[in-house]
Structure 1
Amino acid sequence: MASNDHLLDLIQSMPDIHGLLRGSFEFDIHRRECGDGLRLATGAPLEPIAGDSTGGAYFLCAEEGGRRAVVFASSEGAGGLIADDLASALEIIIGLGWQDCLGFSGGGDLDVMQASAQHLEKHPARADPEIAEERARVAAALSLRVLPVPDLVIRLHAAASRTEPNYVVTSDDGDVYDLPFGEYLEPRHGGWR
């Protein structure tokens, strides 16, 4: 699997892939400032690597066991571990509506996340009929795998479940971010349609 630095360099060197990551998957390596002033509750620093259009930020953690885990912090004050390395994080980011999957997780229930993911998968295809092709293009360019949604949900759930105690996000002001799992089972107004 490619190193984190190699993947970031590849994204930087391929404007079309960077454009797809930014536009279709909300991973923009030119929005690194989104994560200023955040660190882990353990005191470990976070290296901002990308942001999304809402002010959320992706970070690499300090190396542990030869890998650098990836943490996400939303602009709404929730955050936590999403993968053990950047390649795994990017597979989740391109293959799954992962933020909504966590938000509609019933507090971290894997079965609820699986049901939410199945409903959420219908939305990208309606909003962007070429999403499957875009996923495949990004995966091929970065030597990633396009995995089945249920497998991605299991991986995301496993990572987010390990947020405490080592991957809890805090601000320099001492504010502790909420854990990544939302309490909702489905959207409040009208449910899944």
Structure 2
Amino acid sequence: METLTIERITKEDLAKLQQISIQTFHESFSALNSEENMNDYLTTSFSAEKLSAELGNQSSQFYFAIVDAEVVGYLKLNLGEAQTEIKDNHALEIERIYVLQAFHGKKVGQLLYDKAIQIAGQINASYVWLGVWENNNRALSFYKKNGFAEFDKHIFRLGTDEQTDLMMKKNLINN
């Protein structure tokens, strides 16, 4: 693998963000979900309008992982009121870390995660939290390896399917 860079995403990157969002989510979850539910979720969650609004939110940040001028993954972070649930000004939510399957196992996800922890430090966050589908064993293992522990559960709707996400957090104070 050539040099990997992490770059902040801007509104001008909307089309690239939409493409990587759909591709990585589809690669990650299509085998375990119905085509109808996948299509419904991809169409609504990654529409140009929804992503544009997310990009425009001052309390959210997006970053691309780029290898040889190709976007191979991305990260979405939420602060304060942009957080999907807790909305704690002393916390940072990692809402999305997604990497193309061809780049799994090549430290891309780890570098995106490291970027999130760097930003958490810059804002003096007490902890970082996220939600992970209970059946996403690869992600659960990744977060446990990085020091996250489960603290709650919530429902994630994928089309008509109600799925359980495990909510995990990592304390940053005294770490």
| Shared fold (TM-score, shorter chain, > 0.5) | no
Higher relative contact order (CA 8 A, sep 6+): 1
- TM, length-normalised to structure 1: 0.25
